[in-house]
Amino acid sequence: MHRAHLDRALGSHARVRPMPGPGRRLLLVASAILVVSQSACVPPLASPSGSELNPSLPATPGPSLAASASASLASTPTPVPTPVPSVDPAALELEAISCDGGVVLEWSASIAPDFHHYTALRSPVREIEPLYPPIAPAVDWGDTYATDRFVTSAVDASIIPSETRWFYRVMAYDVDGAVVGASPVRGAQLGEVDELGELQVEALDDGRTRIEWQPYAGFSRCFSSYRVLFGTGGSASTVLAVVSGQQTAEMETDALHPETAYVFRVQAVRVTTLGSFVVADSEVADYTVP
Protein backbone atom coordinates (compact mmCIF):
# COMPACT_ATOMS: atom_id res chain seq x y z
CA MET A 1 0.00 0.00 0.00
CA HIS A 2 2.73 2.34 0.75
CA ARG A 3 4.60 1.52 -2.46
CA ALA A 4 1.55 2.25 -4.57
CA HIS A 5 1.10 5.57 -2.87
CA LEU A 6 4.75 6.49 -3.63
CA ASP A 7 4.41 5.55 -7.25
CA ARG A 8 1.43 7.82 -7.66
CA ALA A 9 3.32 10.70 -6.05
CA LEU A 10 6.40 10.48 -8.27
CA GLY A 11 4.80 9.41 -11.47
CA SER A 12 5.19 6.31 -13.42
CA HIS A 13 8.38 7.50 -15.24
CA ALA A 14 10.29 7.93 -11.91
CA ARG A 15 9.55 4.63 -10.60
CA VAL A 16 12.50 2.59 -9.51
CA ARG A 17 12.52 -0.74 -11.03
CA PRO A 18 15.17 -3.09 -9.87
CA MET A 19 17.27 -4.40 -12.74
CA PRO A 20 18.47 -7.87 -13.03
CA GLY A 21 22.08 -8.59 -11.82
CA PRO A 22 24.17 -8.39 -15.09
CA GLY A 23 22.41 -5.33 -16.42
CA ARG A 24 22.94 -3.48 -13.20
CA ARG A 25 26.63 -4.12 -13.36
CA LEU A 26 26.82 -2.71 -16.91
CA LEU A 27 25.03 0.42 -15.76
CA LEU A 28 27.53 1.00 -12.96
CA VAL A 29 30.50 0.64 -15.31
CA ALA A 30 28.98 3.07 -17.80
CA SER A 31 28.37 5.60 -15.01
CA ALA A 32 32.02 5.37 -13.90
CA ILE A 33 33.29 5.95 -17.45
CA LEU A 34 31.05 9.00 -17.74
CA VAL A 35 32.43 10.48 -14.48
CA VAL A 36 36.08 9.99 -15.60
CA SER A 37 35.38 11.60 -18.97
CA GLN A 38 33.80 14.63 -17.35
CA SER A 39 36.79 14.98 -14.97
CA ALA A 40 39.23 15.01 -17.90
CA CYS A 41 37.36 17.85 -19.52
CA VAL A 42 37.59 20.13 -16.46
CA PRO A 43 40.75 22.38 -16.62
CA PRO A 44 43.05 22.34 -13.55
CA LEU A 45 42.89 25.14 -11.10
CA ALA A 46 45.58 27.82 -11.68
CA SER A 47 48.10 28.57 -8.92
CA PRO A 48 47.40 31.84 -7.20
CA SER A 49 49.54 34.73 -8.44
CA GLY A 50 51.65 36.97 -6.25
CA SER A 51 48.94 39.63 -6.34
CA GLU A 52 46.37 37.11 -5.09
CA LEU A 53 48.63 36.01 -2.23
CA ASN A 54 49.61 39.60 -1.39
CA PRO A 55 47.16 42.23 -2.65
CA SER A 56 49.82 44.95 -2.18
CA LEU A 57 51.92 43.50 -5.01
CA PRO A 58 51.27 44.70 -8.58
CA ALA A 59 49.12 42.46 -10.71
CA THR A 60 51.73 42.31 -13.48
CA PRO A 61 54.73 40.22 -12.39
CA GLY A 62 58.17 41.97 -12.56
CA PRO A 63 61.48 40.51 -13.73
CA SER A 64 62.77 37.41 -12.03
CA LEU A 65 65.37 37.54 -9.21
CA ALA A 66 68.10 36.13 -11.47
CA ALA A 67 67.35 38.74 -14.15
CA SER A 68 67.49 41.54 -11.54
CA ALA A 69 70.86 40.27 -10.21
CA SER A 70 72.27 40.07 -13.73
CA ALA A 71 71.13 43.60 -14.50
CA SER A 72 72.69 44.87 -11.24
CA LEU A 73 76.02 43.22 -12.04
CA ALA A 74 75.94 44.58 -15.57
CA SER A 75 75.39 48.13 -14.28
CA THR A 76 78.30 47.96 -11.76
CA PRO A 77 81.47 49.51 -13.30
CA THR A 78 84.52 47.24 -13.45
CA PRO A 79 87.35 48.67 -11.29
CA VAL A 80 90.36 49.77 -13.30
CA PRO A 81 93.75 49.02 -11.61
CA THR A 82 96.01 52.00 -10.97
CA PRO A 83 98.97 51.83 -13.32
CA VAL A 84 102.34 51.39 -11.59
CA PRO A 85 104.89 53.86 -12.99
CA SER A 86 107.95 52.20 -14.42
CA VAL A 87 111.33 53.00 -12.88
CA ASP A 88 113.89 54.60 -15.17
CA PRO A 89 117.11 52.60 -14.69
CA ALA A 90 119.15 55.61 -15.82
CA ALA A 91 117.76 58.03 -13.21
CA LEU A 92 119.81 58.80 -10.10
CA GLU A 93 118.86 61.14 -7.28
CA LEU A 94 121.52 63.42 -5.82
CA GLU A 95 121.81 65.67 -2.79
CA ALA A 96 124.78 68.03 -2.34
CA ILE A 97 125.16 69.26 1.26
CA SER A 98 127.14 72.44 1.96
CA CYS A 99 129.32 71.98 5.06
CA ASP A 100 132.17 73.66 6.90
CA GLY A 101 135.30 72.34 5.26
CA GLY A 102 133.70 70.38 2.42
CA VAL A 103 130.65 69.15 0.49
CA VAL A 104 128.82 65.88 1.15
CA LEU A 105 127.34 64.07 -1.86
CA GLU A 106 124.61 61.45 -1.36
CA TRP A 107 122.87 59.71 -4.26
CA SER A 108 120.53 56.80 -4.97
CA ALA A 109 121.87 53.42 -6.05
CA SER A 110 121.92 52.65 -9.76
CA ILE A 111 119.61 49.83 -10.91
CA ALA A 112 121.04 49.63 -14.41
CA PRO A 113 121.84 45.96 -15.14
CA ASP A 114 125.13 46.86 -16.86
CA PHE A 115 126.37 49.17 -14.06
CA HIS A 116 130.13 49.06 -13.45
CA HIS A 117 131.15 52.17 -11.48
CA TYR A 118 130.27 55.68 -10.27
CA THR A 119 132.17 58.91 -10.79
CA ALA A 120 131.11 62.38 -9.60
CA LEU A 121 131.92 65.46 -11.68
CA ARG A 122 132.35 69.05 -10.47
CA SER A 123 132.06 72.27 -12.45
CA PRO A 124 131.88 76.02 -11.83
CA VAL A 125 128.92 76.15 -14.27
CA ARG A 126 125.59 74.35 -14.03
CA GLU A 127 125.81 72.51 -17.36
CA ILE A 128 127.74 69.26 -16.87
CA GLU A 129 127.97 66.84 -19.77
CA PRO A 130 127.69 63.17 -18.74
CA LEU A 131 130.47 61.89 -21.01
CA TYR A 132 133.81 60.64 -19.69
CA PRO A 133 136.52 61.90 -19.74
CA PRO A 134 134.71 65.02 -18.52
CA ILE A 135 134.29 67.97 -20.84
CA ALA A 136 135.83 71.18 -19.46
CA PRO A 137 135.18 73.02 -17.27
CA ALA A 138 133.85 69.89 -15.49
CA VAL A 139 136.48 67.78 -13.67
CA ASP A 140 136.78 64.50 -11.81
CA TRP A 141 138.66 65.34 -8.59
CA GLY A 142 139.45 61.67 -7.99
CA ASP A 143 137.65 60.80 -4.72
CA THR A 144 134.35 59.34 -5.93
CA TYR A 145 135.18 56.24 -8.05
CA ALA A 146 133.25 53.21 -6.71
CA THR A 147 132.42 49.84 -8.33
CA ASP A 148 129.93 48.84 -5.62
CA ARG A 149 126.46 50.08 -6.64
CA PHE A 150 125.50 50.45 -2.96
CA VAL A 151 128.36 52.82 -2.13
CA THR A 152 126.36 56.02 -2.55
CA SER A 153 128.12 58.79 -0.63
CA ALA A 154 131.32 60.77 -1.04
CA VAL A 155 132.87 64.10 -0.14
CA ASP A 156 134.62 66.96 -1.88
CA ALA A 157 137.21 68.69 0.27
CA SER A 158 139.76 69.06 -2.50
CA ILE A 159 139.54 72.83 -3.02
CA ILE A 160 139.95 75.89 -0.83
CA PRO A 161 136.72 76.97 0.91
CA SER A 162 135.25 80.13 -0.59
CA GLU A 163 132.01 81.86 -1.53
CA THR A 164 132.02 80.08 -4.91
CA ARG A 165 129.04 77.84 -5.57
CA TRP A 166 130.12 74.60 -7.25
CA PHE A 167 127.94 72.24 -9.22
CA TYR A 168 127.99 68.45 -9.02
CA ARG A 169 126.65 65.54 -11.03
CA VAL A 170 127.04 61.83 -10.28
CA MET A 171 127.37 59.47 -13.25
CA ALA A 172 127.02 55.69 -13.57
CA TYR A 173 129.04 53.99 -16.32
CA ASP A 174 129.32 50.50 -17.75
CA VAL A 175 132.62 48.64 -18.05
CA ASP A 176 133.39 50.41 -21.34
CA GLY A 177 132.74 53.90 -19.95
CA ALA A 178 129.33 54.36 -21.59
CA VAL A 179 126.75 56.28 -19.55
CA VAL A 180 124.08 54.05 -17.94
CA GLY A 181 122.85 56.54 -15.33
CA ALA A 182 123.00 60.23 -14.47
CA SER A 183 121.81 62.43 -11.64
CA PRO A 184 120.49 65.99 -11.85
CA VAL A 185 122.99 68.80 -11.32
CA ARG A 186 123.11 70.11 -7.72
CA GLY A 187 124.98 73.08 -6.26
CA ALA A 188 126.80 73.52 -2.93
CA GLN A 189 129.55 75.55 -1.22
CA LEU A 190 132.64 74.63 0.78
CA GLY A 191 132.69 76.72 3.95
CA GLU A 192 135.52 77.56 6.32
CA VAL A 193 136.39 75.03 9.02
CA ASP A 194 134.60 75.96 12.25
CA GLU A 195 136.18 76.29 15.72
CA LEU A 196 135.61 74.21 18.84
CA GLY A 197 137.35 76.71 21.11
CA GLU A 198 139.92 76.15 23.82
CA LEU A 199 140.55 72.68 25.25
CA GLN A 200 140.39 72.12 28.99
CA VAL A 201 142.55 69.26 30.26
CA GLU A 202 142.71 68.42 33.98
CA ALA A 203 143.67 65.61 36.31
CA LEU A 204 141.00 63.87 38.43
CA ASP A 205 141.43 62.55 41.96
CA ASP A 206 141.22 58.91 40.82
CA GLY A 207 144.22 59.30 38.48
CA ARG A 208 142.22 59.77 35.25
CA THR A 209 142.32 62.80 32.96
CA ARG A 210 139.32 64.83 31.78
CA ILE A 211 139.27 66.61 28.38
CA GLU A 212 136.57 69.20 27.56
CA TRP A 213 135.78 71.23 24.42
CA GLN A 214 133.02 73.34 22.88
CA PRO A 215 130.37 71.30 20.98
CA TYR A 216 130.05 71.73 17.23
CA ALA A 217 127.17 74.11 16.49
CA GLY A 218 126.90 73.50 12.73
CA PHE A 219 124.43 71.55 10.61
CA SER A 220 123.85 68.05 12.05
CA ARG A 221 124.11 66.41 8.62
CA CYS A 222 127.66 67.74 8.42
CA PHE A 223 128.65 65.93 11.64
CA SER A 224 129.62 62.29 12.17
CA SER A 225 131.81 62.28 15.31
CA TYR A 226 134.58 63.91 17.33
CA ARG A 227 138.13 62.64 17.11
CA VAL A 228 140.18 63.25 20.25
CA LEU A 229 143.82 63.33 19.16
CA PHE A 230 146.93 63.22 21.31
CA GLY A 231 150.68 62.77 20.98
CA THR A 232 154.08 63.61 22.35
CA GLY A 233 156.82 65.79 20.89
CA GLY A 234 154.49 68.64 20.04
CA SER A 235 152.21 66.78 17.58
CA ALA A 236 148.65 65.51 18.25
CA SER A 237 148.16 62.94 15.50
CA THR A 238 147.08 59.72 17.24
CA VAL A 239 143.40 59.02 17.88
CA LEU A 240 142.80 58.68 21.60
CA ALA A 241 138.99 58.32 21.36
CA VAL A 242 136.01 58.75 19.02
CA VAL A 243 132.92 60.45 20.51
CA SER A 244 129.72 60.13 18.47
CA GLY A 245 127.24 62.52 20.14
CA GLN A 246 127.29 66.04 18.70
CA GLN A 247 126.28 67.57 22.03
CA THR A 248 128.80 65.48 24.00
CA ALA A 249 131.77 67.75 24.72
CA GLU A 250 133.95 65.92 27.21
CA MET A 251 135.65 62.59 27.91
CA GLU A 252 137.75 60.94 30.61
CA THR A 253 140.69 58.59 30.12
CA ASP A 254 143.15 56.55 32.18
CA ALA A 255 145.35 55.67 29.17
CA LEU A 256 147.98 58.36 29.85
CA HIS A 257 151.32 57.74 31.53
CA PRO A 258 152.27 59.65 34.66
CA GLU A 259 154.87 62.45 34.41
CA THR A 260 154.54 62.50 30.60
CA ALA A 261 153.95 65.63 28.51
CA TYR A 262 151.17 65.38 25.90
CA VAL A 263 149.60 67.53 23.21
CA PHE A 264 145.81 67.34 22.66
CA ARG A 265 143.33 68.57 20.06
CA VAL A 266 139.74 67.68 19.13
CA GLN A 267 138.25 67.67 15.62
CA ALA A 268 134.63 67.34 14.50
CA VAL A 269 134.56 65.30 11.29
CA ARG A 270 132.14 64.23 8.59
CA VAL A 271 132.73 60.70 7.38
CA THR A 272 131.36 58.88 4.30
CA THR A 273 132.24 55.58 2.65
CA LEU A 274 134.53 57.29 0.14
CA GLY A 275 136.16 59.93 2.32
CA SER A 276 135.96 62.34 5.25
CA PHE A 277 136.87 65.93 6.15
CA VAL A 278 137.22 68.13 9.22
CA VAL A 279 134.29 70.47 9.88
CA ALA A 280 135.56 72.01 13.14
CA ASP A 281 138.85 72.05 15.04
CA SER A 282 139.89 72.96 18.57
CA GLU A 283 142.94 74.78 19.81
CA VAL A 284 145.95 72.69 20.79
CA ALA A 285 146.41 72.02 24.52
CA ASP A 286 149.64 70.96 26.24
CA TYR A 287 149.32 68.83 29.35
CA THR A 288 151.70 66.89 31.62
CA VAL A 289 150.22 64.03 33.59
CA PRO A 290 151.01 64.35 37.36
Share of the chain above pLDDT 70, in %: 72
Shortest CA distance to 118 belongs to which of 92, 157, 156, 82? Answer: 92
Burial status of residue 108 (CB atoms within 10 A of its CB: 0-12, 13-18, 19 or more) = middle
The 10s digit of each residue's pLDDT in 231-241 is 998 899 999 99
Which of 223, 222, 267 lies closest to 241 in space, CA to CA? 267
**Long-range contacts at 38-42 (CB < 8 A, ≥ 24 apart):** none
Cβ proximity of 243 and 226 under 8 Å: yes
Taking each continuous run of H as one helix and of E as one strand, the counts in the chain are 4, 17
Q: How confident is the model at residue 75 (pLDDT cuts 50, 70, 90)?
A: low
Q: What is the pLDDT of residue 25?
A: 47
Task: Compute how many other C-beta atoms are within 10 angstroms of the C-beta atom of residue 215.
Answer: 17
Question: Is pLDDT larger for residue 60 or for residue 275?
Answer: 275
Mean pLDDT of the chain: 83
Binned at pLDDT 50, 70 and 90, residue 121 comes out as very high
Residue 190: predicted pLDDT: 96
Q: Residue 218: helix, strand or coil by DSSP?
A: coil
Q: Is the pLDDT of residue 34 over 60?
A: no
The reported pLDDT for the residue numbered 72 is 58
> What stretch(es) of the chain map to CATH 2.60.40.10?
94-191, 194-288
Looking at residue 37, its pLDDT comes to 45
**Going by CATH, does the domain composed of 94-191 fall within 2.40.128.20?**
no
pLDDT tens sequence across 153-176:
999 999 999 999 999 999 999 999
The answer on pLDDT for 127 being more than 90 is yes
User: Which of 264, 278, 168 lies closest to 213 in space, CA to CA?
Assistant: 264
Phi, psi of 214 (to 5 degrees): -85, 135
Look at residue 13 and tell me whether its pLDDT is greater than 50. no
Q: Residue-wise over 83-96: b if at least 16 C-beta within 10 A, else e?
A: eeeeeeeeebebbb
**Mean pLDDT calculated for residue range 133-137:** 96
CATH number listed for the domain at residues 194-288 = 2.60.40.10
Q: Which long-range contacts (CB under 8 A, 24 or more apart) does 138-146 make?
A: 138/169, 143/274, 143/275, 144/105, 144/118, 144/119, 144/120, 144/170, 144/274, 145/117, 145/118, 145/119, 146/117, 146/118, 146/273, 146/274
Residues of the chain with pLDDT > 90: what percent?
Answer: 68
- C-alpha pair distances (Å), 96 with each of 8, 11, 146, 179, 264: 137, 134, 18, 21, 33
